[in-house]
Amino acid sequence: MVVEIQSQCYVEDLIESLSALSSRQKVSPRTCWVAEDEKTVVAYLLAHPWAGDKPPSLNTVLRKLPQKTNVCFIHDIAVSPLSRGKGVASQLISYALGDARIRGLEHSRLVAVQGVEAFWRCWDYQPYNIPDYTLDGYGADAITMTRKL
């Protein structure tokens, strides 16, 4: 179901393989969530502890997490079109940030794609620059964003 929701929400160039998506859940099952209605999964959020400023590459299998982590990296959030506007994304983000605080992480970071920077600014994320680093695969409009926890 996650792959189906992903295909409804992202342009083709940003679609990740099932193995790349499921690897996030495998390395950090406590930081990945789905939302369901009465019948099916309607949204998901994949996050994991991370270290430093540089995000993991898009569409790559994550084999293990860094030993020392200080970041909650929100890898992906997607809400099916029929479930948008119902607060589902807000609930998932609240879970992720709350869990990150409990774990003692210092920051949350993400890569905003498809022009959703304004959405993340509502959650107090701000753009940040990574010198000499390109966001390969994330798309031309990708922006790294961060917030303190």
Cα separation of 47 and 49, whole Å?
A: 7
Task: Give the number of domains in the chain.
Answer: 1
22-54 pLDDT tens trace: 999 999 999 999 999 988 999 999 999 999 999
Residue type, 30: R
Dihedral in degrees, nearest 10, Cα atoms 29, 75, 46, 42: -170
111-121 pLDDT tens trace: 999 999 999 99
| Per-residue pLDDT band at 137 (split at 50, 70, 90) | confident
| Residue among 101, 117, 98, 107 nearest 53 (CA) | 107
Whether 2 contacts 34, CB under 8 Å: yes
Q: Is the pLDDT at 142 greater than 90, yes or no?
A: yes
Domain membership of residue 8 as a residue range: 2-148
Domain with residue 41: its CATH number is 3.40.630.30
Dihedral in degrees, nearest 10, Cα atoms 39, 33, 121, 143: -110
57-94 pLDDT tens trace: 999 999 999 999 999 999 999 999 999 999 999 999 99
Residue ranges of E strands in the chain: 32-36, 41-50, 71-79, 107-112, 126-127, 143-148
Give whole-number Cα distances, 106 to 5, 21, 125, in Å.
30, 24, 13
